[in-house]
Amino acid sequence: MATDSTAGSSLSAQESAADALPPATGEAFRDAIARLPSGVNIVATAGPAGKAGFTATAVASVSDDPPTVLVCLNRKSPQNRLVRENAQFSINLLPKDAVTLANIFAGRTGLHLDDRFRHGDWTTLATGAPVLRGAIMALDCRLLSSQDVGSHTVYFGTVVATMTKPRDPDGAKEVLIYHDRHYGEA
């Protein structure tokens, strides 16, 4: 937790009080966090450890100087070792018509690891991580660091290359989102 030197003692008093509170139940948390609309991405890696990709909404911008992002990946996923060992990954924001691809990379069709890449049109930018040609935007990242937090590993990546699709000239909705356990568009 960050400390604020201007409010030192009152902040630490709040922290001790908060430390005494038990975490919310997993079910209450999942119900609440489901209400947060998120873009749907495929996070992909390739390298000596192999090729893999998974659908992810737990993706965020961390810093713009240097450009840094984070991705949260379940520690139980076999892909966790691949991201760590390849030390590179891409984030590909899906277009609204990519629900089938999102389900394939969420493991809902029984395809695993590099078999998932038989679907979609993939290329590479700088690192060699797979990049989806039709993505709304893609970030090609070198692994910076990671931290295990509860069920997930948070991977921080330095963005070394980007790809951005031109906007729809009519301003039509283009992005696949996930909200309240359903796909939508934004």
Ligand X SMILES: Cc1cc2nc3c(=O)[nH]c(=O)nc-3n(C[C@H](O)[C@H](O)[C@H](O)COP(=O)(O)O)c2cc1C
Task: Determine the Cα–Cα distance for residues 69 and 138; give it in Å rounded to an integer.
Answer: 12
Number of residues that bind ligand X (CB under 6 A): 17
Q: Is 111 in the site for ligand X (CB under 6 A)?
A: no
Q: Is 89 in the site for ligand X (CB under 6 A)?
A: no
Q: Is 122 in the site for ligand X (CB under 6 A)?
A: no
Structure tokens at 139: 């970030």
Q: Contact, 43 vs 119, CB < 8 A?
A: no
Grouping H, G, I as helix, E, B as strand and the rest as coil, residue 55 is: strand
Binding residues for ligand X restricted to 21-80, rule: CB under 6 A = 40, 54-58, 72-74, 77-79
Amino acid of residue 85: E
Q: Is 178 in the site for ligand X (CB under 6 A)?
A: yes
Task: Determine the Cα–Cα distance for residues 56 and 54; give it in Å rounded to an integer.
Answer: 6
CA torsion, ordered 33, 37, 40, 44, to nearest 10 deg: -50
The candidate with the shortest Cα–Cα distance to 4, out of 14, 64, 17, is 14
Nearest approach, Cβ of residue 125 and ligand X (Å): 22
- In the bound state with ligand X, the residue whose beta carbon lies nearer, of 7 and 149, is 149
Provide the H-helix boundaries in 46-136.
79-86, 99-105
- In the bound state with ligand X, the residue whose beta carbon lies nearer, of 112 and 167, is 112
* Among residues 46, 83, 89, 105, the one that binds ligand X under rule CB under 6 A: 105
Nearest approach, Cβ of residue 111 and ligand X (Å): 9
- In the bound state with ligand X, the residue whose beta carbon lies nearer, of 77 and 162, is 77
* Centroid of chain to Cα 62: 12
Nearest approach, Cβ of residue 185 and ligand X (Å): 14
Nearest approach, Cβ of residue 64 and ligand X (Å): 22
State the residues that interact with ligand X by CB under 6 A. Answer: 40, 54-58, 72-74, 77-79, 105-107, 112, 178
